Amino acid sequence: MSDTGTLAGKVAVVTGGASGMGAATVRTFVGAGAVVTLVDWDEAGSQRVAAETGAAMIVGDVGDAGFCDGAVDAVVATHGCVDVLVNCAGVIHRADASGTGGDDWRRVMSVNVDGVFWMSRAAVRHMVPRGSGSIVNFGSIWGGVGAAGVVAYCASKGAVHQITRAMALDHADDGIRINAVAPGEVDTPMLASGRDAAPTAADLAQLAESTIPVRRLAEPDEIARVVLFLASDDASYMTGAIVPVDGGYTAR
């Protein structure tokens, strides 16, 4: 499948588009011909990606339902519709239950779960009357299997998987497809964040060697290309799917 023109003329919104896999998705979608608006709370990062790609940007917090409604409404007011939504915005808190405070828990849930729901709810309101649309959520390997020291993140991604399945069933008759990617270990800023000490390149290489069957980390672009497939008409018979992109991690 060639990326060029895969989303030609489609209007797409990508949350978390200022860095990591979100930024890679913005670049990939623009390369595939989409008209992209990125949504992120990082204004400086958003400006960098927007300047690089020509995407539009909206700065704000997807954990705020009113902001999500306004962001999607603004895209529709400018472009007349929203064809594709990618919910990539996410945060992580690295701790067990005892080390997870109430504010830590609520913030992870606010961005990772509420943000997916609020943005998706806002998008389907505009997609239903048109009888078409595609939503791709970012789940995780840790939405399907557990991991020590990231209880809030695991819980949030499990919720994303279930939102994906439930909304896919709700909107199958509306012509809206809703799927999720479940990335494994990806070389992004989040991988190094929230740790007592930033991992070195050697640390990351050892992580890959010891935990991932293909023995390397994923690059953000490798995840973005799967998102592109799910968003496009090439995946026309897929809805409610959780697609692992994990180098074989969950095959065990």
HEC profile for the chain? CCCCCCCCCCEEEEECCCCHHHHHHHHHHHHCCCEEEEEECCHHHHHHHHHHHCCEEEECCCCCHHHHHHHHHHHHHHHCCCCEEEECCCCCCCECCCCCCHHHHHHHHHHHHHHHHHHHHHHHHHHHHHCCEEEEEECCHHHCCCCCCEHHHHHHHHHHHHHHHHHHHHCHHHCEEEEEEEECCECCHHHHCCCCCCCCHHHHHHHHHHHCCCCCCECHHHHHHHHHHHHCHHHCCCCCCEEEECCCHHHC
The residues annotated with a catalytic role in the active site are 153
Side-chain-side CA neighbours of 157 within 13 Å: the count stands at 28
Closest-CA residue to 160 (of 134, 182, 177): 182
Instruction: Assess contact for 21 and 88: CB atoms under 8 A.
Output: yes
Closest-CA residue to 27 (of 79, 73, 88): 88
Which residues lie below 8 Å from residue 61, measured CB to CB, with a gap of 6+? 41, 67, 111
